[in-house]
Chain A
């Protein structure tokens, strides 16, 4: 680790000032410290934001409000999460380990970095780590990589589970920065890699995530998060799907669908949602709709299986959601 200073921010205002002056926020530290130890991340000033009053979890009418410093474990079991948006709890519990969930904040989770092996291999080219150096994954180990939203410059997936559920539920986030406050959809936090894979998100310098708002949804309880991975727990997704459906006598009135492990960012599947509208919740119908998810997919040498696995995971997630009374 290269030397750095660490200061505890006593207020949001002071935190933002310190970040505007070049400091880097640290919350749970479970992404940042790991990558600082590898010297993939090299901040020289850390701003410990854990004393800021951003740990709240509460209902505001039908909406669920989650402070950026609320811990994954706390959000997962909170009665308002379970009542309003149980799929958020499910996605959280399927991520990381109990110990990490006790440490990891919601803001940090959304900004966690990719798990591409080359990203942390300092002697391998990686456009995300060193712009213009090349992408080792395109002709290398790419079993876990994305098939949607990739470019020749980068194909790493975004590893967050809860971001997938938040994108399906059209959550928004409130951020504060040196230029003031703004609110935008969580989906718009993420950029496609294109020619600039080193730019991952749309936050402006110094912006602090303050809270997440998940708008109420009448059918939000009929939802499942299905995570397919190499072992049954404590593993990142190969493919994951958050499915939320509004059912009327076996017919899908409306659906929300987002997937992880498939795209270079949490991937909302609006075309599949459209294709499901008014259809019966039956395997053949679901399969036909799920196929549209992989139109335009660009698999690499090691991840062709995802072209099959993605539609199948979608179908199964929809069926599981449909089983909820």
Chain B
């Protein structure tokens, strides 16, 4: 395996605004949404306090984070995964549940600019996080360049894995891991496609990376 595949270096976290095709409009909108949101007192943002947990404390964990630029403060069951909270509490059902075991990538979202699988993390552990789901990529009807590239190259068939593929591709490109077909295959391998749309997916990622 060539060194390049690994080491065409990580350039850093995803800044969604900068991954959009030079849409200053969308940058301003994103910033607006964040400043307009309610400020949450620091104490509220923490999970239950460290001192002497009682069974009653098990019922609820308080958490506050921003999703696609909108701040949410929620009371949760500590058992709820970030994935379940996105889908069931916030009704952001674009993010999919495939395996629920970290093995398929359908649930990929960005947390603080990094792609992660949302099924293997507890929502209660993400106070203060900035989260982006597939719903947060398009802006004012303008698709994100990665979304456009998936349509152009038919990077899907049934579409179930697609939100995860697209978010993962945004991460992959921002990390600087989309330099060659081989590199894209390796760094997109956390996302499984049962329909086998891989040729289209790889072409879409390469195209979108080239446009950035």
Contacts and interface: CB of A to CB of B under 8 A. Distances in A.
Interface string A1-25: 1011111111000100010000000
A155 interface: no
Contact of A26 (B115, B125, B186, B191): B125
B120 A234 contact: no
Given A6-B47, A7-B47, A8-B46, A93 B175 contact: no
Interface in B142-185: 168, 171-172, 175, 177, 185
Given A97-B190, A98-B172, A103 B79 contact: no
B18 interface: no
Interface in A83-108: 89-90, 93, 96-100, 102-103
B57 interface: yes
Q: Using C-beta atoms within 8 Å of the partner chain, give the interface range for chain B.
A: 35 or more
A152 interface: no
B93 to A, nearest CB: 20
A61 to B, nearest CB: 24
Contact of A8 (B47, B57, B114): B47
B115 A99 contact: yes
A18 B50 contact: yes
Contacts of B6: 76, 89-90, 93
Interface string B84-113: 000000000000000011100100100000
Contacts of B189: 97-98, 232-234
A52 to B, nearest CB: 12
B141 interface: no
A45 B116 contact: no
A34 B125 CA distance: 15
A73 interface: yes
A299 to B, nearest CB: 28
Contacts of B49: 7
Contacts of A48: 47, 124-125
Contact of B116 (A3, A10, A77, A99): A99
B172 A1 contact: no
B22 interface: no
B81 A46 contact: no
B61 interface: yes
B164 to A, nearest CB: 9
Interface in A36-58: 37, 44-46, 48, 50
Contacts, number: 119
B58 A5 contact: yes
B48 interface: yes
B68 interface: no
A6 B116 contact: no
B114 A102 contact: yes
B171 to A, nearest CB: 7
B46 to A, nearest CB: 6
Nearest to B187: A98
A103 B120 contact: yes
B101 to A, nearest CB: 6
Q: Point out which of A50, A97, A233 has the most chain B C-beta atoms below 10 A from its C-beta.
A: A97
A77 B105 contact: no
B35 to A, nearest CB: 26
B102 A6 contact: no
B41 interface: no
B159 to A, nearest CB: 20
A159 B81 CA distance: 24
B9 interface: yes
Contacts of B120: 28-30, 33-34, 100, 103
B121 A33 contact: yes
6 contacts: A7-B49, A7-B50, A30-B121, A50-B125, A77-B7, A97-B102
The 7 closest A-B pairs by CB, nearest first: A97-B190, A233-B189, A5-B53, A234-B189, A102-B114, A77-B10, A1-B79
Interface of A: 1, 3-10, 14, 18, 26, 28-30, 33-34, 37, 44-46, 48, 50, 73, 76-77, 82, 89-90, 93, 96-100, 102-103, 232-234
Given A5-B55, A103-B116, 13 more contacts: A4-B79, A5-B58, A6-B124, A9-B50, A14-B50, A29-B120, A30-B121, A34-B102, A50-B125, A97-B102, A100-B117, A232-B185, A234-B189
